[in-house]
Amino acid sequence: MVEQRIWLVTGASRGLGRAFTREALAAGDRVAALARTATAAPEYRDDERVLTVDVDVTDRSAVFAAVERVVDHFGRLDVVVNNAGTMWTGFVEEFTEEQARAQMETNFFGALWVTQAVLPALRRRPPGRLLQISSVAGIAAFPTTGLYSASKFALEGLSEAVAAEAAHFGVAVTIVEPGGYWTDLYKDMPATAPLDDYAALRAELAATSDADGVDSEPALAAAAVRAARRGCGPGSRGQRRSTETVDPRQRRLRRRGRTRAGPHPGLGGMGEGQPGGRTCRAGPAGIHHLRSSVPPADAVPSARGRAPA
């Protein structure tokens, strides 16, 4: 029987973070639910298994204080879901400096501050696990999601380095790469002010976008929770479900279209499309990748259509 785990989930009040929280609770675990307005979430208010903490992940001092509070409350941390994020859409030329920095502050620096804050607790009680929520946009960039992809590319590079460093202490890192799905994250998705010069391209993208797509959010969260509890990775006592070892250089080549190996949707510059599917893949020094099905080639995201997670 797998013992009860202590989870810390950022961005827990909506979207994928809420799905992770629900799945962890359904598995019998306890959760620290962190978000800008976590304490206002009615579904957690009367649940003794949940500690809600309001925090802005872009505030490094606040993040460290929040993690300290969680460890003091539960006594330890077993699994961390580094999920808080935002998504700006717009063509690269349209971004203001403020908008570009806002995208990186949350998705990269916010994730960095959380990573730094939780590693001491994870190291103290191996095997710990850090789930870094990336996206298929962290593998391939799409029109109108250039800054979002840049933030996820940066997160994946950071995560590969952390995996190599933390494996020495029995801490495993999983990069979770969801495909496209609708959540309330996209209801208020910010967008740049459109430039008239891009009107034709914007119309073309809108005409080819897929507004239905695959809602992978709950299933992917459930798969990640099961993998974390089972111990998919080094330092675990559970079964390691490993299908392929991926060299970091090979992953970078895949991103840039210089190899056709691995699942991707056949987007321009990446070669022929490969099967998607959900995989938990073991890589070097404790890095794992949990990837949902990748949207088809004609499901190119736009400000109107489905966006990658």
**What is the pLDDT at residue 217?**
56
Catalytic option among 134, 149, 151, 302: 134
Domain ranges of the chain: 6-291
**What is the pLDDT at residue 101?**
97
Residue 88's identity, in one-letter code, is W
Catalytic option among 13, 44, 152, 181: 152
Residue 84's identity, in one-letter code, is A
Catalytic option among 13, 44, 135, 148: 148
Active site residue 198: no
For residues 97 and 308, give the distance between their C-alpha atoms in angstroms, rounded to a whole number.
23
**What is the pLDDT at residue 116?**
99
DSSP output for 104-162: HIIIIIIHHHHHHHHHHHHHHSSSEEEEEE--GGGTS--TTBHHHHHHHHHHHHHHHHH
**What is the pLDDT at residue 292?**
52
**pLDDT, tens digit only, all 309 positions of the chain:** 568 999 999 999 888 888 899 999 999 999 999 999 877 778 888 899 999 999 999 999 999 999 999 999 999 999 999 999 988 888 999 999 999 999 999 999 999 999 999 999 999 988 899 999 998 888 888 888 899 999 999 999 999 999 999 999 999 998 988 875 545 555 566 778 788 888 888 888 888 765 544 445 556 666 666 666 666 543 333 323 332 334 444 555 454 443 333 333 333 333 333 333 333 444 444 556 665 544 333 333 333 333 444
For residues 177 and 175, give the distance between their C-alpha atoms in angstroms, rounded to a whole number.
6
Q: What's the CATH fold of domain 6-291?
A: Rossmann fold (3.40.50)
Active site residue 134: yes
What the block records as the tokens of 290 is 């949990």
Question: Residue 230: what are its φ and ψ, rounded to 5°?
Answer: -75, -30
Q: How many CA atoms lie within 13 A of 14 on its CB side?
A: 14
